A and B are shown apart, each in its own frame.
Chain A
Amino acid sequence: MTTAAPRGLRRGRPPGRSRRDDRNGLLLTAPTLLVVLIASIIPLVLVVVFAFSEIRLVDIPRLGTEPIEWTLDNFRRALGNPSFWQALGTTLLYATLAMIGSVGVGLVLALALRRPFRGRGVVRALLLVPYVLPVIAAVTIWQTMLNPQYGIVNAVGREFLGWPSAVGFLNTTTAEVWGIPIPLSLLVVVCFEIWTSAPLSFLFITARLQGVAPSIEEAAALDGANSRQITTRIVLPQLKGVILLLCLLRFIWTFQSFSEIYLLTEGAGGTQVMALKVYTELVTRADIGSAAAYGLLMSVVLVALLVVYIVLARRKVDVE
C-alpha cells in the first residue's frame, strides 16, 4: 500500500503509524466481529452442543440452568433412519443438477452475448430479471403456470400436445416419459433453481470474459483456427478458474437451499431435501437436538466436499 507514496514521505511518517493502524483496524472491525461472534461463532459452538444432547423446544426456558447430558442418540437415530439417507441423496442430486444447469446456462449466455450488438445492454438487463425477482413472486408465478386446473403449461399440454390428463408437476414423485421413469417434481425444482440462479453465473462469467484479450483469438483465427476451436482452446481455458469457483459456490448454496423448495412443494413429490429435514425436526417435531444433528451432518458433507475441491485445485496447480 505504501508503494504509491514517495520515499521521503514514507520515511517522514510519524513513528506510530503501524501501531495506529493496529488500533484503528481493530476498532473499525470491532462491530463486525461482534456481530459475527454472536450470530455465527457462538451458534456454531451451540449447534455442536445441541447435537450431542437431548433438547426439545419445551426445554428452552430451562437452558443453561442444568448440566448437559452428552449423548450420541441424535446421530444414531438420524443415521439409522432411511429417510435421512433418502434426503441426503435427494439433496446431492438436486444440488449437482442445479449447479451444472446454472453454470452451464450462464456460460452459454455469456458466450452468446459476448460480441456487441444493438440492444445488448437491454437484453443483458432483462436476462437478470429472474435473479432480481423476490423468491415469493417467482414461486407464485411458477405455481400458477404449473397449476393442474388453470396453469398455462397444462392448458397447452392438453390442448396442443395431447396430454390425456393434467400433470401435477409439484407433487409427482415419478412420472413415465416414453417409458422412462423420471423424478418429475425434483426436476421442476431443479429447473426453478436454474431459472433464478443462472443470471448470476452469467454475470460472473461475463465479467471474466471482459478480461480475455481479443488479440490472442485474432492471432489464432489468422493461423486458421475455426470459431469452435477458438472457443474451446483459447477462451474456455481462461474461464476455468471462474467456472470452478462458481460451481463450488453454487453447490454450497443450493445444497442448503430451503425457501425455494419449501414454498414450491413443501417437500411433496420426493423433494424432501436436508434443509427441509432440519426445519421439520425443529418446528414440527420440536426436537432441537435432532435438528442440530441433521444440520451438523449437512455441514460435514459440505466440508468434505470443500476439502476435495481444495485438494483438486492444489494438485492442478502443482502439475502446471
Chain B
Amino acid sequence: MNRRRSPLAPSRAASAGRAVLIAVALILAIGPVLYGVLLSLRPYSAVVQNPLDVIPSWEELDFSGFTTAMLDEADGGFGLGRFVLNSLLIALGTVVLSVVVSILGAYAAARLRYRGRGAVNAIILGVYLFPGIVLSVPLFVLLARAGLTGSLLGLYFVYVATTVPVAIYMMRNYFLALPESIEEAAIIDGASLPRMLRSVVLPIALPGVVATAIYVFMIAWNEYFYALLFLVQDRTLWTAPLGISQLTDFNVPVTVLLAGSIAVTLPVVVLFFLAQRYLVDGLTSGAEK
C-alpha cells in the first residue's frame, strides 16, 4: 500500500473515471461550437456533399461566408453589418443607462440604512423572479400606445428594466466588500454624497462596475424576444439575433448563417474571458452562504 497517500486522494479507478467524464464533458461543450466554426469556413456545396467531412481542407478554406453575411444587400450580401451596428447601439446604450441607475441603487442597498429599504429590496427581487413573458403583453400594448414599437427607444427601456435587478444584485456584492472606513473618513472630511461616490467609491469598485457592465452588455446583445416583438416590421432596425433568425426564412446558405452567428458570438466570448473572474465572483457570491 502507498502509505504516503493523503486519506482523501482518490483511487486510481476513480481518477480514470473522472478524466473520462471531464473529456466527454469538454467534447459535448466545445464540440458543437467547433463544428459551427469549421463549417462556416467551408463552401456550402462541400457541406451538402460531404456532411461527415467537418475539417476543411486547405484549398477549400472559404471566408466568403463572413463577407456575404456582413455586406449590405446592395453589395450582394445579407446586411448583417447593419444589424450588428444596431445591436451595438442598443447594447452600449443599455449598458450606460443600466449601470448608472444600478450604481445608485446598489450603493443604497449595500450601505444606507434608510426607511423602506427592506420593501425596496423585496420589490426588486420580486420583479426579477416574475415571468418576463407575462409582462411582455402589457409592455407591448403600452409601447404601441406611446408609439414606441418600431423604434429602438422602446427596446432601451425594456432592456434597462430587465437588467437593473441583476446589475444591482451584482454590484451590491462588490460594494459590500469595500472597506466602509474609507467612506466614513470622506464624509467626516466633508465630502458630499455624490462627490464621495464619484471620487472614493467608484474608483475602488471599478472592477465590479466593469464586470456588471459586461454582463449587461451580454444580455442586451443576445436578447431576441423583445427585439422580435417590437422591431420585426422594420428591417432597417433589426438587431443581429433578429436579423440572423429572419434570414433563416430566406434560403440563405447555412454556411453564411453560421458565419454570421460566429461573428455575433466573438465579441461576447472575448469580453467574457477578459472579465471572467470578476463576472463569476459577482454572479455567484451569494451561493457561498
When C-beta atoms are compared, the residue in chain A nearest to B184 turns out to be: A5
Q: Check A47 against B135 for contact (C-beta < 8 Å).
A: yes
Q: Which of B104, B139, B287 contacts A207 (CB 8 A)?
A: B287
Q: Check B130 against A33 for contact (C-beta < 8 Å).
A: no
Contacts A135-B224, A210-B288, A221-B7: A155 and B115 contacting too (C-beta < 8 A)?
A: no
Main secondary structure of the interface of B (DSSP, over half): helix
In the bound complex, how far is the Cα of B158 from the Cα of A39, in angstroms? Answer: 7
Contacts A43-B142, A137-B262, A298-B134: A214 and B8 contacting too (C-beta < 8 A)?
A: yes
The interface-forming segment of B10-18, B57-65, B202-210 is: B10-18
Q: Check A155 against B51 for contact (C-beta < 8 Å).
A: yes
Q: Which of B22, B134, B165, B240 contacts A295 (CB 8 A)?
A: B134
In the bound complex, how far is the Cα of B231 from the Cα of A283, in angstroms? Answer: 13
In the bound complex, how far is the Cα of B193 from the Cα of A132, in angstroms? Answer: 37
Q: Check B288 against A282 for contact (C-beta < 8 Å).
A: no
**Least Cβ–Cβ distance between B58 and chain A, in angstroms:** 21
Q: Does A22 contact B (CB under 8 A)?
A: yes
Q: Does B28 contact A (CB under 8 A)?
A: yes
Q: Check B254 against A255 for contact (C-beta < 8 Å).
A: no
Q: Does A203 contact B (CB under 8 A)?
A: yes
In the bound complex, how far is the Cα of B272 from the Cα of A115, in angstroms? Answer: 24
Q: Does B29 contact A (CB under 8 A)?
A: yes
Q: Does B245 contact A (CB under 8 A)?
A: yes
Contacts A112-B22, A222-B7: A40 and B161 contacting too (C-beta < 8 A)?
A: yes
When C-beta atoms are compared, the residue in chain A nearest to B269 turns out to be: A132
Q: Check A28 against B158 for contact (C-beta < 8 Å).
A: no
Q: Does B151 contact A (CB under 8 A)?
A: no
In the bound complex, how far is the Cα of B32 from the Cα of A133, in angstroms? Answer: 11
In the bound complex, how far is the Cα of B200 from the Cα of A24, in angstroms? Answer: 17
Q: Check A44 against B130 for contact (C-beta < 8 Å).
A: yes
Chain A 247-303 interface residues, beta-carbon cutoff 8 Å to B: 252, 255-256, 258-259, 262-263, 275, 278-279, 282-283, 288, 291-292, 295-296, 298-299, 302
Q: Check A221 against B8 for contact (C-beta < 8 Å).
A: yes
Contacts A28-B108, A207-B285, A278-B133: A36 and B123 contacting too (C-beta < 8 A)?
A: yes
Q: Check B101 against A35 for contact (C-beta < 8 Å).
A: yes
| B residues adjacent to A (C-beta < 8 A) | 6-8, 10-11, 14, 18, 21-22, 25-26, 28-30, 32-33, 35-36, 39, 47-48, 51-52, 54, 100-102, 104-105, 107-109, 111-117, 120, 123-124, 127, 129-142, 144-145, 157-158, 160-162, 164-165, 168, 180-181, 184, 193, 218, 221-222, 224-225, 229, 240-241, 244-245, 248, 254, 257-258, 260-262, 264-265, 268-269, 272-273, 276, 280, 283-285, 287-289
List 30 contacting pairs A-B, 8 Å CB cutoff, sorted by A: A24-B193, A25-B108, A25-B113, A25-B115, A26-B116, A29-B120, A32-B124, A32-B164, A35-B161, A36-B123, A36-B165, A39-B135, A43-B135, A43-B139, A63-B141, A127-B25, A127-B29, A133-B265, A137-B264, A138-B32, A140-B248, A140-B261, A147-B254, A207-B280, A227-B10, A227-B14, A278-B136, A292-B137, A292-B138, A295-B133
